[in-house]
């Protein structure tokens, strides 16, 4: 292929123009004092601006990703309300539609199949917010729990009570040390709807037994041999748990290391329940 020579004069003219521009004395402008410092400062501002934009973009991206994550138990319709006071006997639980009227503590503890049927036809209240910072002021709620716990514990145990456990204003807790130093934890909170008790103890390392009725009351008790709850490097991994649920949905849970027999933990939990009824 042959190239046309029509463009050669044009190329020569452009080359000469560029050469003249490079050597033009008008380009010889003296730098103003402090120019280098101003250039470096402008460069630093630019880098900071880029960093701020990068952080802002990361926050937006994190929020977008978080919005795509579906939290467990939130895939069913909910009412924009928080459960109110416990229902009186024969009255439905506030905030739950269709109507849910428990007759005993057992009604709050469902199998997985029962829980699926319940959530398919009922809207549960919105979860309670967790706005309380620790330490929270002590209330009568934790005082009542402490009295029940102390009535059940053996001699030599020490206790410390706490309100708004994990930031939940409706939850109270008692931290216990037995005479030999063994830790035991008790918490109490009003349930906002029935729970699937096999999932309620999702870390259980063996099948969860059926809840049983508490003699002489309308409460239910659920004793779990091993819920897979760790107590740290100095205590064998795993814990036993006993939960007592009253007809109004108030649940009291006892946790102890595997060194505490399940029969003993159950006896304490039932003694605390009996004291609360007296």
With 70 as the cut, is the pLDDT of residue 71 above it?
A: no
165: buried, middle or exposed (CB in 10 Å: 19+, 13-18, 0-12)?
A: buried
Q: What is the pLDDT of residues 24-45, one digit of tens each?
A: 454 444 444 444 444 444 444 4
Question: By residue range, what is the domain housing residue 95?
Answer: 75-278
**Cα Dmax for the chain:** 112
Q: Using a cut of 0.75, tell me whether the model's pTM lies above it.
A: no
- Predicted confidence (pLDDT) at residue 211 exceeds the cutoff of 90: yes
Q: Report pLDDT digits (tens) over 161-191.
A: 999 988 888 999 999 999 999 999 999 999 9
Where helices occur in 122-261 by DSSP H, the ranges are 140-152, 197-200
Specify the number of domains making up the chain: 1
Residue 200: CB atoms within 10 Å:
22
Residue 108 pLDDT grade (very low, low, confident, very high; cuts 50, 70, 90) = very high
Residue 48 lies in a domain: no
- Report yes or no on 29 lying in a domain: no
pLDDT of residue 275: 97
Per-residue model confidence as pLDDT tens digits over 263-278: 999 999 999 999 999 8
């Amino acid at each position: 292929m042959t190239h046309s020579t029509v463009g050669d004069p044009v190329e020569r003219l452009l080359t000469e123009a560029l050469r003249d521009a490079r050597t033009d004395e008008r380009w010889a402008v003296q730098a103003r004092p402090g120019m280098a410092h101003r250039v470096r400062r402008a460069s630093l501002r630019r880098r900071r601006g880029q960093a701020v934009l990068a952080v802002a973009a990361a926050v937006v991206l994190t929020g977008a990703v978080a919005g795509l994550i579906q939290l467990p138990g939130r895939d069913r319709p909910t009412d924009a309300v928080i459960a109110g006071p416990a229902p009186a006997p024969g009255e439905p639980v506030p905030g739950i539609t269709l109507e849910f009227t428990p007759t005993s503590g057992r009604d709050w503890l469902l199998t997985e199949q029962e829980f699926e049927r319940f959530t398919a036809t009922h809207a549960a209240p919105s979860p309670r917010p967790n706005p309380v910072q620790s330490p929270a002021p002590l209330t009568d709620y934790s005082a009542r729990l402490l009295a029940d716990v102390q009535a059940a514990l053996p001699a030599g145990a020490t206790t410390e009570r706490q309100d708004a456990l994990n930031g939940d204003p409706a939850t109270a807790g008692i931290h216990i040390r037995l005479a030999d130093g063994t830790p035991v934890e008790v918490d109490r909170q009003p349930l906002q709807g029935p729970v699937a008790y096999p999932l309620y103890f999702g870390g259980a390392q063996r099948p969860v037994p059926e809840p049983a009725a508490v003699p002489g009351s309308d409460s239910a008790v659920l004793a779990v041999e091993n819920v897979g709850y760790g107590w740290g490097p100095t205590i064998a991994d795993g814990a036993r748990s006993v939960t007592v649920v009253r007809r109004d949905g108030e649940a009291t849970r006892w946790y102890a290391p595997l060194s505490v027999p399940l029969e003993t933990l159950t006896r304490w939990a039932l003694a605390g329940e009996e004291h609360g009824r007296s």
